[in-house]
Amino acid sequence: MGNTQIEFRNVSFRYQEDMPWVLKDVSFTIYNNEWVAMIGHNGSGKSTIAKLMNGLLFPQEGEILVDGQPVTASTVWDIRRKVGMVFQNPDNQFVGTTVRDDVAFGMENHGMARDLMLERITESLEAVGMNGYERHEPHRLSGGQKQRVAIASVLAVSPQYIILDEATAMLDPKGRKEIMETIREVQSARDLSLITITHDLLEVTQADRVIVMNKGEIWMEGTPRELFAKKEQLIEIGLDTPFVSKLADELKDAGLPLTREPLNHQELLEELWTFHSTR
Ligand SMILES: Nc1ncnc2c1ncn2[C@@H]1O[C@H](COP(=O)(O)OP(=O)(O)OP(=O)(O)O)[C@@H](O)[C@H]1O
């Protein structure tokens, strides 16, 4: 695995000296080629973590390493080439008057050669299904298309890590599903690590690993199945559980002996089928 990872070592952060700590002694690692979902109630520190990961903020205590390199004011441009970030509202991210200019902008910042830039624009728009839109105005696109272009702009710089900070929150369920499918395809084709900050529980069930934040501290780190097995504690810290998980509980209460914690409809159906065929 080498050094290809993002590592938070005992990170504490506050926005100003006279303000309370927003993050307290946070340590975790994001490994190569994995998808980590980060959840937590509003204000638990998730967006602050995202900003620390690509040097938009710096911690007062502890250390953040990207591929072994500390994130500091002097390494920040290297770090931002490796760690791409897509925010919730794409309108705030557009800088170009056309889709092509917009995708080019990040690359220009990194001083890429023109030929390589043209190649990357085509490649990254293709990866998100937006080829043919090069001359369109970003502001006139639909919400889903805007997010695709924002993702293409990040992909064009060829990062190793992509952070999506509630990047699908403004889309309808269909738009969300499509964007996540696109991202997954790109992730496996390019060996990327994905960090998604989300309130969408369906998205959380699909991640490899989940980090749960509570009041600036890591409350839990584990697989989605481990997480949703702690339903009562989750509700105590103000988080919800997926619909399938609730339905499974109701079925158990009604006397059905479900043996494992189903994470999606398919798994619940399998459980029901096993029960049915043993009767
Ligand atoms: N620029 C800022 N200046 C001062 N305080 C801030 C700033 N940005 C965030 N905070 C505070 O830091 C804390 C953590 O905020 P953060 O945005 O990281 O949480 P979050 O978990 O991403 O929340 P949400 O789910 O609402 O996006 C909150 O108490 C917030 O009010």
Give CA–CA dist 2/80, Å, rounded: 20
Q: Which residue has the tokens 């999506």?
A: 164
Q: Give residue 45 CA to ligand 1 midpoint distance, Å.
A: 6
Q: Which residues line ligand 1 (CB under 6 A)?
A: 15, 22, 40, 42-48
pLDDT for position 29: 96
Residue 1: what pLDDT?
45
pLDDT value for 190 = 82
pLDDT, residue 184, reads 85
Q: What is the predicted pLDDT for the residue at 3?
A: 63
Closest-CA residue, ligand 1 atom 13, reads 43
Q: What is the pLDDT of residue 172?
A: 81
Which domains are seen in the chain, by residue range?
5-224 (3.40.50.300)
Say which amino acid occupies 206. Answer: Q
Instruction: Say what the pLDDT of residue 18 is.
Output: 94
Task: Please report the atom of ligand 1 found closest to the CA of residue 47.
Answer: 22
State residue 134's pLDDT score. Answer: 94
DSSP code string of 28-77: EEEETT-EEEEEESTTSSHHHHHHHHTTSS--SEEEEEETTEE--TTTHH
Closest CA to 125 of 153, 106, 101, 98: 153
pLDDT at residue 19 in the model:
94
- What pLDDT shows up at residue 26? 98
- Helices and strands in the chain, H and E counts: 11, 10
Kindly report the pTM of this predicted structure: 0.88
**Two tokens, residue 250:** 């109701």
Half-sphere exposure of 250 (CA within 13 A, CB side): 7
Weakly modelled stretches of the chain, pLDDT under 70: 1-3, 90, 279
